[in-house]
Amino acid sequence: MATFFRSSPEAPLHPLPRLLLVALGAFAFGGVWLVVAAMRGDRAGWMVLVAALNAVTWLRITHTRPGALRRLCAVLATSASIALGEWLVASLPIAQAMNQLPLETARRMGPDFGWMLIRLGNTPLDWLTIIVALMLAAWFGH
């Protein structure tokens, strides 16, 4: 597994810190998506494409070697960003109606209710954009 990552002489060979940075970048992007959606007043479905570029950028910043594992990591990081972003954006209208923070509402939302809000809020174009974003993550994650 250590050969999967390139490292400079001063960097440790262990891949865990690098994977943690990629995960942190993926989850931080969910918060960015929430802020953009709140400021624009819509779901900002186009942010899924930015999520794919974010994941690929984090993998390149951490000097992950090209190959199938980097593609897999790019798709997984993009999927995590999309899932968290969709969840937070789905909780936004409820949070505004109940005068709460979106994170409080997202934490209290059950999976069935969250999935229903995501299904009702996304258009067919949004679902297509999600598929394209995952394909872009796989393509640029090589």
- pLDDT over 80 (residue 8): no
Region at 7 (left for phi over 0; alpha for psi -120 to 50; beta for the rest): beta
Distance CA 109, CA 125 (A): 25
Please indicate whether residue 85 or residue 5 has the higher confidence score (pLDDT). Answer: 85
Can you give the pLDDT at residue 90?
93
Tokens read off for 37:
């959606």
Can you give the pLDDT at residue 142?
84
Q: How far is CA 32 from the centre of its chain?
A: 10
Percent of the chain predicted with pLDDT > 70:
91
Query: Please, which pLDDT band fits residue 12 given cuts at 50, 70 and 90?
Result: low
Query: Please, which pLDDT band fits residue 5 given cuts at 50, 70 and 90?
Result: low
pLDDT digits (tens, 9 = 90+) for 38-96: 999 899 999 999 999 999 999 888 888 888 988 999 999 999 999 999 999 999 999 99
User: Tell me, what DSSP letter sits at residue 67?
Assistant: S
Q: How far is CA 28 from the centre of its chain?
A: 8
Can you give the pLDDT at residue 113?
92
- pLDDT over 90 (residue 37): yes
- pLDDT over 80 (residue 30): yes
Please, what is the average pLDDT of the chain? 88
**Residues 113-141: what's their mean pLDDT?**
94
**45 CB-contact burial (10 Å; exposed 0-12 / middle 13-18 / buried 19+):** buried
